[in-house]
C-alpha cells in the first residue's frame, strides 16, 4: 500500500556518478528523504504526487562550489535563494566572503535564514570581503594589510564552525594585496592553516605576482597547491592565465596550457571554472576542449557583478560547457559528485535510499542565441540546460529563470575589458558591435 505524501518522479534519466547510476527509473521521495529508486511502470495511487519527468535528467541537487552570498554586508553579496535554490542549486558554497572576524554574521544572517544549504570557504584575511569588490580594478582588497592575514584566528573560527566551513579561500591578485607585496605571505599562511585544520584551499589567481610554477623556495599557484586543493577561475584570459602565452596562435589565441598547470593536475589539484564577472573566456574554453582540459568543477562565482550576466546561474555555466563539447555526464559530475567530495559530503549528497532528498530535475532545450563570455566575446548557442524542478530536503522550491537571458545591455560594459586580455578572439569587438 502506498504511503501518504509520497512524491514520485516518474520516468526520468537518473544520473548519480558517485553511485554509478545512469538509467531511466522512478525516484520516490517521502518526507525529507529518498525512499527508493524503482523500475518504471509501477502502480501509484491517489495519495501519491506523481510527476512525469520523462525526457528529463534527475540528478542530486546541484552544488555551486563558488558563490558570494554575504548579502548587504559585502559589496559582492547576492540573494542566495533567488540565484541558487530557485535555479536548481540546493547547496552553495560561499567562497571567502567572510573571514574569522566576520563569519558569525554569515552564519546568523545568511546561512540560518536561507533555504539553500550554505557552506563556506573561510577567507584567510580576518575581515574577508567586507569592503572588497572584484579584484583587478585597482581598488585595493582584503590582503592589503599583513596584520589581517592570521592563521590562528582562522583556525579557531574553523574549529568552532566545522559543520559549515569546508576550506580556506585566498585571492591572489596584486591589487588586492598591497600591490603584490603580501601575496607570498598570504599564500604561505593559507597553506599552513589548511594543513593545521586538514581542509583544502581554494585559490583565486589572476593578475598576480605569484607565478604558475617555479622553484620550491618561492610559492607558486597552482604549483604549490596540494592534492584536493581547488584552483578556481580555470578559464580566465587575463595575466596569470593557465595558457602558455609564450607561443602565439596565428588567429589571436594560444596553442597550449602551461606545463605547470598540467603538472598540478597530475598531482591532484582540482580545476574549477569560477565564471564570475571576468573569469570565463570562450577562447580558452575552446582550447581546453581541444586539449581535453575540462574542469573538475563547474561553478558560477555568482556575485553582484555576474548575477545578471555574464554568469547568470549554474545551469547557464553548464550550458556554456555543453556548447564547447564537454560530455554531459562529466558536466553533471562537475556540479554534483566532485563538489560534494570537495565539501566532505561525498556520502551524503547522493540519490540513494535514506539520503536527504536534495534533487534537481533538468531538461535540455533547443535554443538559438548569442551567449557572451566575461568580456562579451560571443558564441551561437543552440542547446540550453534548464532547471525544471528542485527539492531541498524534500521540500519543493519554485524555479525562477532569469528575466533577461542573455542580457545584451551588459555586453558593452563587459567588452571594455577586452583590451586587457592576453588570450582573446581576433574579432570579438566587431562581433559584439554587430549584435547590438
- Alpha carbon distance 372, 406 (integer Å): 8
Three-class secondary structure of residue 337 per DSSP = helix
Contact 186, 143 (CB under 8 A): yes
Q: Supply angle C-alpha 116, 122, 125, rounded to 5.
A: 140
**How confident is residue 254, by pLDDT bands cut at 50, 70 and 90?**
low
Contact 293, 43 (CB under 8 A): no
Contact 225, 231 (CB under 8 A): yes
Percentage above 70 pLDDT, the chain: 94
For residue 119, report the phi and psi dihedrals to the nearest 5 degrees: -110, 180
Q: Which three cell numbers stand for residue 4?
A: 501518504
pLDDT of amino acid 328? 98
Percentage above 90 pLDDT, the chain: 86
Please classify residue 251 by burial: count the beta carbons closer than 10 Å to its beta carbon, then call 0-12 exposed, 13-18 middle and 19+ buried.
exposed
pLDDT above 90 for 346? yes
- Alpha carbon distance 374, 378 (integer Å): 10
| CA-wise closest residue to 121 among 220, 229, 240, 273 | 229
**Separation in Å, CA 257 to CA 246, 296, 331:** 11, 16, 21
Question: How many C-beta atoms surround the C-beta of residue 221 within 10 A?
Answer: 27
**Domains of the chain, CATH where assigned:** 62-342 (3.20.20.140)
pLDDT digits (tens, 9 = 90+) for 34-52: 999 999 877 788 889 999 9
pLDDT digits (tens, 9 = 90+) for 411-431: 999 999 988 998 888 765 555
pLDDT digits (tens, 9 = 90+) for 120-133: 999 999 999 999 88
pLDDT of amino acid 3? 46
Contact 94, 119 (CB under 8 A): yes
**Separation in Å, CA 297 to CA 216, 233, 334, 413:** 27, 10, 4, 28
Among 86-90, 399-403, 418-422, 427-431, name the one with the lowest average pLDDT. Answer: 427-431
For residue 366, report the phi and psi dihedrals to the nearest 5 degrees: -75, 145
pLDDT of amino acid 431? 55
Amino acid at each position: 500500500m502506498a504511503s501518504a505524501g509520497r512524491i514520485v518522479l516518474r520516468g526520468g534519466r537518473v544520473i548519480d556518478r558517485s553511485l554509478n547510476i545512469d538509467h531511466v527509473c522512478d525516484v520516490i521521495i517521502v518526507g525529507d528523504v529518498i525512499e527508493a529508486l524503482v523500475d518504471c511502470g509501477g502502480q501509484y495511487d491517489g495519495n501519491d504526487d506523481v510527476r512525469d519527468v520523462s525526457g528529463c535528467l534527475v540528478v542530486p541537487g546541484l552544488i555551486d562550489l563558488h558563490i558570494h552570498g554575504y548579502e548587504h554586508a559585502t559589496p559582492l553579496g547576492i540573494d542566495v535563494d533567488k540565484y541558487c535554490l530557485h535555479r536548481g542549486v540546493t547547496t552553495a558554497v560561499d567562497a571567502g566572503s567572510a573571514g574569522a572576524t566576520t563569519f558569525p554574521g554569515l552564519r546568523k544572517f545568511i546561512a540560518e535564514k536561507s533555504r539553500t544549504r550554505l557552506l563556506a570557504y573561510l577567507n584567510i584575511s580576518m575581515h574577508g570581503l567586507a569592503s572588497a569588490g572584484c579584484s583587478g580594478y585597482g581598488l585595493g582588497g582584503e590582503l592589503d594589510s599583513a596584520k589581517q592575514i592570521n592563521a590562528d584566528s582562522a583556525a579557531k573560527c574553523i574549529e568552532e564552525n566545522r559543520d559549515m566551513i569546508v576550506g580556506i579561500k585566498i585571492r591572489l591578485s596584486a591589487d588586492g594585496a598591497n600591490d603584490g607585496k603580501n601575496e607570498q605571505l598570504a599564500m604561505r599562511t593559507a597553506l599552513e592553516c589548511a594543513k593545521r585544520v586538514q581542509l583544502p584551499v581554494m585559490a583565486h589567481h589572476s593578475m598576480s605576482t605569484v607565478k604558475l610554477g617555479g622553484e620550491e623556495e618561492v610559492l607558486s599557484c597552482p604549483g604549490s597547491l596540494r592534492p584536493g586543493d581547488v584552483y578556481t577561475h580555470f578559464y580566465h584570459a587575463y595575466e596569470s592565465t593557465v595558457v602558455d602565452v609564450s607561443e602565439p596562435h596565428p588567429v589571436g589565441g594560444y596553442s597550449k596550457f602551461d606545463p605547470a598547470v598540467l603538472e598540478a593536475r597530475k598531482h591532484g589539484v582540482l580545476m574549477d571554472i569560477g565564471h564570475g564577472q571576468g573569469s570565463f573566456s570562450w577562447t580558452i574554453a575552446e582550447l581546453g576542449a581541444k586539449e581535453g582540459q575540462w574542469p573538475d568543477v563547474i561553478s558560477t562565482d555568482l556575485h553582484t557583478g555576474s548575477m545578471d550576466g555574464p554568469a547568470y546561474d549554474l545551469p547557464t555555466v553548464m550550458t556554456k560547457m555543453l556548447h564547447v563539447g564537454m560530455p554531459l555526464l562529466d558536466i553533471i559530475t562537475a556540479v554534483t559528485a566532485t563538489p560534494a567530495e570537495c565539501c566532505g559530503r561525498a556520502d551524503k549528497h547522493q540519490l540513494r535510499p535514506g539520503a536527504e532528498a536534495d534533487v534537481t530535475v533538468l531538461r535540455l532545450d533547443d535554443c538559438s542565441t548569442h551567449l557572451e563570455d566575461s568580456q562579451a566575446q560571443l558564441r551561437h548557442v543552440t542547446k540550453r540546460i534548464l532547471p525544471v524542478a528542485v527539492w531541498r530536503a524534500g521540500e519543493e522550491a519554485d524555479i525562477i529563470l532569469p528575466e533577461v537571458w542573455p542580457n545584451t545591455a551588459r555586453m558593452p560594459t563587459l567588452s571594455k575589458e577586452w583590451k586587457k586580455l592576453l588570450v582573446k578572439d581576433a574579432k570579438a569587438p566587431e562581433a559584439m558591435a554587430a549584435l547590438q
